[in-house]
A and B are shown apart, each in its own frame.
Chain A
């Protein structure tokens, strides 16, 4: 048994506690999908199908079973990774999991890229603001944080497309890759990683050029909140008693800023980072629509439009899993930095 307060013990506890959380999340998804108005079979045939056909379809999907059996089936589906087949006009007949797995890499690439942009910009502007409190740099930084936070994603996306893609032609307008050259062979599905694994630097450059504008849009919007959180927490920790004590011991200024002020300020920032990451997946729906980015967000929007229930359900479940994984990662990171939460 690992020592109490050790990182391993803490990680294991968090992992075990993620299961009830996941179960609650899955239940909410199940209930919500069944209480919202609309009928998948009705949507499928537009109300023109014969009652016998409707009955047969209902039976095939298990919708004629009592709710508790439907729920048991649903949980079994989730844990076997089999979400049934799509009903919609686009992916009709295809396995839902396959469809999602084709789209997931695009969203992961977008999300990770945006998060990189958001953290790099957010943390640097936040630190600059914090250590230059009330000077001109800080005023500009605070103004940036407020303005960027309230800008709608689609508006910023359109403006960036207009300036950098249409006008200056530095970046492509939309889509994940050029049509003129073949994309890298699929290993992970992430174009950037795959092209690097295959040693194709040209394809990597193309993938990054395509990623740039969508990631910049989403990253910029998210960086506003980051800037403010980093600044506020840095000011709090820079005035902390332990910082004053470290100064009295003659610790170098650089070490005080990094090991004392910044590291302590990072704890709440990481929690915010996790929340933002979750918001980011929601934001990805808008970004993917604006940039016609063929990811999960676009898939969800399209499947809601045609009321493709198995596909909606599958997409939301995968989203739920992602959120749980992110919150696990946040907990773990916090435990790594802060010994006090390991208990």
Chain B
């Protein structure tokens, strides 16, 4: 990801989108085995010690969760959440921390007067705006937003997306948007990666992928979008596989209408098919 860029991560429920988000923040449950590399500014996050990681969390990389209702400590006021977060990273006076809190909340249109309220005194939309303000108060360079609007109604959703767009422009912040809503991706993102059963099956620019998808899964996913003139709902047959026992070869082969015997055995590598667009399909060139 480049600075100021927005990348979308899409996929069905249970394909590992949220896990990816938590992995980037290094907040997977304790004793989780992590393989591979997670590079942030050329440093592998997996090699950092706990304190170095803690300094990055929240200040450089921030995360917005999908369920704002349960993400705030019910025993702390909004003010306490902000002061604690700011002071966990920077040595600033209480006064300055408060000023920043006010600024962050105002930008999210949360009234300053409610700073001493507790989480249970806010609505869902309000809490999500507080969560976003909390994630942005230290102006991180990378924001991971894990389905930030899923639990909200469409009006609040539109407001929040607009706010995220503004922030990107104002702070040159990179945004990793995790969603299953392809409409949002088309509207907000520069690039997109399609996830299936824990693996990236296709990635590229939004225009390329929406106009000329290569991987059969991406094609089927795009076909299942509902338009105004949709007469019949189209879905992808079958269920996403159990990730504890993933299928052999290409993980999509049991549901793929084009699957051939070789797909059962050979794991397809992520190959580039056009400039900036790659897919993991053995027969990708047939679909180009």
Q: Which residues of A contact B (CB under 8 A)?
A: 240-242, 244-253, 255, 259-260, 263-264, 337-340
Which chain B residues (214-272) contact chain A, with CB distance < 8 Å? none
| Additional A-B contact list (19), CB under 8 Å, known A242-B71, A250-B57, A252-B54 | A242-B70, A245-B65, A245-B71, A245-B72, A247-B27, A248-B25, A248-B62, A249-B57, A249-B85, A250-B88, A251-B84, A251-B85, A259-B75, A259-B76, A264-B75, A337-B75, A338-B75, A340-B74, A340-B118
B120 touches A339 (CB 8 A): yes
CB-CB under 8 A from A247, the residues of chain B are 25, 27, 57
Q: B94 on the interface (CB 8 Å rule)?
A: no
B234 to chain A, nearest CB (A): 35
Q: B56 on the interface (CB 8 Å rule)?
A: yes
B88 touches A338 (CB 8 A): no
B65 touches A340 (CB 8 A): no
In the assembled complex, the Cα of A244 lies from the Cα of B50 at a distance in Å of 15
Q: B73 on the interface (CB 8 Å rule)?
A: yes
Q: Which of B54, B70, B89, B120 contacts A340 (CB 8 A)?
A: B120
In the assembled complex, the Cα of A252 lies from the Cα of B87 at a distance in Å of 10
CB-CB under 8 A from A340, the residues of chain B are 74, 118, 120
In the assembled complex, the Cα of A247 lies from the Cα of B27 at a distance in Å of 7
Q: Please encode chain B, from 44 to 62, with 1 for each CB lying within 8 Å of some chain A CB and 0 for all others.
A: 0000001000111111001
B136 to chain A, nearest CB (A): 11
**Which A-chain residue is minimally distant from B50 (CB atoms)?**
A253
Q: Which residues of B contact A (CB under 8 A)?
A: 22, 25, 27, 50, 54-59, 62-63, 65, 67, 70-76, 84-85, 88-89, 118, 120, 131, 134-135
B88 touches A248 (CB 8 A): no
In the assembled complex, the Cα of A94 lies from the Cα of B59 at a distance in Å of 73
In the assembled complex, the Cα of A337 lies from the Cα of B257 at a distance in Å of 58
A255 touches B88 (CB 8 A): yes
Q: Which of B27, B76, B118 contacts A244 (CB 8 A)?
A: B27
A339 touches B27 (CB 8 A): no
**Which A-chain residue is minimally distant from B24 (CB atoms)?**
A248
In the assembled complex, the Cα of A339 lies from the Cα of B131 at a distance in Å of 20
CB-CB under 8 A from A264, the residues of chain B are 73-75
B73 touches A242 (CB 8 A): yes
B253 to chain A, nearest CB (A): 34
**Which B-chain residue is minimally distant from A342 (CB atoms)?**
B118
A339 touches B75 (CB 8 A): yes
B118 touches A339 (CB 8 A): yes
CB-CB under 8 A from A253, the residues of chain B are 50
In the assembled complex, the Cα of A218 lies from the Cα of B59 at a distance in Å of 50
B245 to chain A, nearest CB (A): 25
In the assembled complex, the Cα of A251 lies from the Cα of B76 at a distance in Å of 14
A252 to chain B, nearest CB (A): 6
Q: Which of B27, B50, B74, B89 contacts A242 (CB 8 A)?
A: B74
A173 to chain B, nearest CB (A): 46
A341 to chain B, nearest CB (A): 10
CB-CB under 8 A from B88, the residues of chain A are 249-252, 255
**Which A-chain residue is minimally distant from B77 (CB atoms)?**
A339
B84 touches A241 (CB 8 A): no
B27 touches A248 (CB 8 A): yes
B74 touches A249 (CB 8 A): no
B73 touches A260 (CB 8 A): yes
Q: Rank and list the top 8 A-B pairs by shortest CB-CB distance, nearest first.
A: A250-B58, A250-B57, A249-B58, A241-B70, A245-B71, A339-B118, A248-B63, A247-B27
A248 touches B75 (CB 8 A): no
**Which B-chain residue is minimally distant from A343 (CB atoms)?**
B120
6 A-B pairs within 8 Å (CB atoms) are namely A247-B25, A247-B27, A249-B62, A249-B134, A252-B88, A339-B74
CB-CB under 8 A from B85, the residues of chain A are 249-251
CB-CB under 8 A from B22, the residues of chain A are 244, 248
In the assembled complex, the Cα of A328 lies from the Cα of B53 at a distance in Å of 45
Given contacts A241-B67, A249-B85, A251-B85, contact A263 B57 (CB under 8 A): no
